[in-house]
Chain A
Amino acid sequence: MNKLIRLVDGLPVIESADPTLAIVPLAQWQAGEGLLLGPDDDVESLQPLLADVAMIAIDFPSFRDGRGYSQAYLLRRRLGWQGELRAVGDVLRDQLSHMRQCGFDSFAVRADKSVEDAVKGLAGVSVLYGRSAIEPRPLFRRR
């Protein structure tokens, strides 16, 4: 299995995923486990569970399916989730910066891709005109 990229104090660290941590879909989830969300899952209904969730993984069935970005935004900004938020599935270098902006802090890069290469995608472009989960102020409030 591929290694994970994790942001630690904003800096990427490449490490192995914890093999003992179960990450399971909402229907089977039990307190203390990691929660795996699919793009159809309604994040707003998760509030009562969050205190018992070990971490949250959001699945990108295809990198072209952008629902995970809004789910991440809502988890971070609206539900106040501060634990690990991992992107899993079709996770590729060229989308990592967008994922990071939307609040993901760990990335399970697709198994056939080099994790070391993918790290280069985290930076993206330095200018964010609008706002995001990690920068809720649009550029015009930061000028």
Chain B
Amino acid sequence: MYEYDDYDHALVHERVAQFRDQVQRRLSGELSEEEFLPLRLQNGLYMQKHAYMLRVAIPYGTLSAEQLRCLAAIAREYDRDYGHFTTRQNIQFNWIELEQVPDILARLAEVQMHAIQTSGNCVRNITTEAFAGVAADELLDPRPLAEILRQWSTVNPEFLFLPRKFKIALCSAIEDRAAIQMHDIGLYLYQGDAGQMLLRVMVGGGLGRTPILSQQIRDGLPWQHVLSYVEAILRVYNRHGRRDNKYKARIKILVKALGIEAFAAEVEREWQHLKDGPAELTDTEYQRVASAFVPPAYESLPVVDLEYGSHLAQHLGFERWVQRNVKAHKVPGYASVVLSTKPGAALPPGDVTSAQMEAVADWAERFGFGEIRIAHEQNIVLPDVRKRDLFALWQAACEQGLGTANIGLLSDIIACPGGDYCSLANAKSIPIAQGIQAHFDDLDYLHDIGELSLNISGCMNACGHHHIGNIGILGVDKNGSEWYQITLGGAQGQHAALGKVIGPSFAAEQVPQVIERIVQTFTDYREHQERFVDTVQRIGLEPFKERVYRTQEVA
């Protein structure tokens, strides 16, 4: 993991002092709320329905055991004993007092964490996939460039008041698990024929009111240019992005208005001034940062572990969990484990208690190398677990409510906090998730249905990424009451697609039944072991619509 040096320490500590002073000035009335707003946002502090919410950055989803314990302590001492992991690999605390925020930030700084730029119209947390460095299908490790970009974008004076928020994601595996096509900039890192690191640069993706998948602006860009090229994109965007309408201010609208060719030409013109100048990344810097991500001291283990094999044969529950929650690792004898934060109706998706966080920190040390990842599906990943320890980990995880064998299944719902917390919401998300989870609580059935992603957002801002869920649910407001619009066929990854609306929206209590009918249609039409999304693609929306709305009338 990356360790802070003197510069990094100085920056976070000075930033805490600066914000402490700003909070003081707000409390004394010297700063108006309007003036304070962007300052607090750039320190991760939102005003929600009932209280302040603090969003803490988890750079590219990577945490140490010590950091996770610190988050647990913050949840216990300053919040209501839990935190919420978000779809951008961050954590949110929902019940925070303004006066205490500087102290919380100081605690975070002690463990090399911060909340800088987790909100506001600036470059946000740089994300990548949760299996970076360990995935069996990885091409190159994306973390060094992610960390370099994190540093470069942190308090970068020219780009702190952009037209709108700006999200950058990196991925370097065959399967794109970082959803780079729905980011303002998506960077796909791969190896050229001569073994050199190259980047495919995608620009203008994003969900929200106008969901658009990103388009390629450049391919084969040598890694040394990453900062100058991103700088060129940001400068063009900062100068020309719309500022008159916040719904038209994202870079995707600018790219769409100009067309990708014209936008690319504009970026190219700007880049010609920067290219081969001081912004070019050096080998020394890359090596300095990359040295923080050298693989841990893996043991050389047999590929087959007999004891593990016999546990698999004896325990159906364990076997199932391995099938869903355990992912291939590039080192023989190891695996990566996904701990589900979606146990069912008991806890909202992504919510994790302090005790659970502490347990996970212990497991990371006992079974791994003290490292934890947060996936953008809001689950927790232990990247390096010996196969022979999987059984013990599974038992421990089950005891803590983190052992549900549902990764990638219908009940692994991705949901934003919605109307229970969020002041922008049209409708609640959590009770919808819980209603569906209560309806689909039979694990056998869920396993039969197979891979199916279900995403819920409480409004057009799409924090629950509903557009790219195989089933997407969007909260809409109709004459002051809460309704839910359903889309089908969305997908993430290399075959990313945006879902299509099936028809008029539903009341909250209808949603589980509607999902049931969609699933029944799927099982009726399914060929062999086809995945849900493939069936939707093959047969189109009609059979689903027909079933959902016909039975609706009869009922």
Contacts and interface: CB of A to CB of B under 8 A. Distances in A.
B278 A69 contact: no
Contacts of B227: 130, 138
B253 interface: no
Contact of A128 (B157, B160, B163, B282): B157
B279 A131 contact: yes
A42 to B, nearest CB: 9
Nearest to B148: A140
25 contacts: A64-B38, A65-B243, A66-B121, A66-B158, A66-B161, A66-B162, A67-B238, A69-B160, A70-B239, A71-B239, A92-B35, A94-B39, A95-B161, A101-B158, A102-B157, A117-B30, A125-B15, A128-B157, A129-B152, A130-B227, A131-B278, A132-B158, A138-B279, A140-B285, A141-B278
A76 B152 CA distance: 20
Interface of B: 7-8, 10-11, 14-15, 18, 22, 30, 35, 38-39, 121, 151-163, 227, 235, 238-239, 243, 273, 277-279, 281-282, 284-285, 288
A98 B39 CA distance: 13
Contacts of A73: 158, 235
A8 interface: no
Contact of B157 (A92, A132, A137): A132
Contacts of A125: 10-11, 14-15, 18, 155
Contacts of A126: 10-11, 14
Contacts of A67: 238-239, 243
B39 A63 contact: no
Interface string A100-118: 0110000000000000010
A69 B38 CA distance: 16
Contacts, number: 102
A70 to B, nearest CB: 5
A138 B152 contact: yes
Contacts of B154: 129-130
A132 to B, nearest CB: 5
Contact of B161 (A65, A131, A132, A139): A65
A126 B6 CA distance: 12
A94 B279 CA distance: 26
B284 A127 contact: no
Given A78-B273, A141-B282, A129 B156 contact: yes
Interface residues of A, number: 35
Enumerate the 7 nearest inter-chain pairs by beta-carbon distance, A residue then B residue, closest first. A66-B161, A101-B157, A140-B285, A98-B157, A127-B11, A129-B151, A125-B14
Contacts of B284: 140
Contact of B160 (A98, A129, A143): A98
Contacts of B156: 129-130, 132
B281 to A, nearest CB: 8
A138 B278 contact: yes
Given A70-B235, A94-B22, 10 more contacts: A64-B121, A67-B239, A69-B158, A69-B161, A70-B238, A94-B35, A101-B158, A127-B155, A130-B151, A138-B152
Most B Cβ at <10 Å: residue of A65, A92, A95, A138: A138
A57 B381 CA distance: 52
Interface of A: 63-67, 69-71, 73, 78, 92, 94-95, 97-99, 101-102, 117, 124-132, 136-141, 143
A125 B13 CA distance: 9
B282 A140 contact: yes
Nearest to B243: A65
A34 B484 CA distance: 57
Nearest to A120: B21
A64 B122 CA distance: 11
B158 to A, nearest CB: 5
A34 to B, nearest CB: 22
A47 B159 CA distance: 24
B278 A137 contact: yes
Contact of A139 (B7, B121, B158): B7
A26 to B, nearest CB: 16
B165 to A, nearest CB: 13
Given A64-B38, A69-B161, A98-B160, A139 B151 contact: yes
A97 B8 CA distance: 19
A62 to B, nearest CB: 9
Given A125-B11, A129-B156, A131-B278, A63 B161 contact: yes
A125 B89 CA distance: 26
A31 B288 CA distance: 51
A141 B158 CA distance: 19
A129 B151 CA distance: 6
Residue of B30, B35, B273, B288 most packed against chain A (CB within 10 A): B35
Nearest to B162: A66
Contacts of A140: 281-282, 284-285, 288
Contacts of B39: 94
A142 to B, nearest CB: 10
Nearest to B161: A66
Contacts of B278: 131, 136-138, 141
A129 B238 CA distance: 19
Nearest to B282: A140
Contacts of A97: 157
A127 B7 contact: yes
A136 to B, nearest CB: 5
B152 A102 contact: no
B158 A70 contact: yes
